[in-house]
Amino acid sequence: MKKGIVSVVVALSFMVCAASSFACTGVVKAVDGTKVTVTCDDGTTATADGAAKVGDKVTVKDGKIAAGKKAAIEGC
């Protein structure tokens, strides 16, 4: 009985860790103060803290946003 409870607790802790490290890349759809709503490339929606404008491509990780990679322009 105790082994079963311990295994369930361990499994739940792994699920919580995996959910908290969720990351997605997508486009900002709405900004409300510092709360940013992002529609991820896989179709999910994430809310994060940070500074961005509607239409920016950002990466959401651990509830915060980081600017997406900018493409290098060759020949300049």
23-59 pLDDT, tens digit each:
888 999 999 988 999 998 888 888 889 888 899 999 8
The letter for the amino acid at 64 is K
Flag whether the pTM goes above 0.85: no
Across the range 13-26, mean pLDDT stands at: 63
The set of residues, in sequence order, having a beta carbon less than 8 Å from that of 57 and lying 6+ positions away, is 25, 26, 27, 28, 68
Sign of CA dihedral 27, 50, 67, 56: positive
The two tokens of residue 75 are 């020949």
Residue 48 resides in a domain:
yes
Domain count, the chain: 1
Residue 61 resides in a domain:
yes
65: domain range? Answer: 23-69
The two tokens of residue 30 are 């709405």
CB of 60 closer than 8 Å to CB of 48 = yes
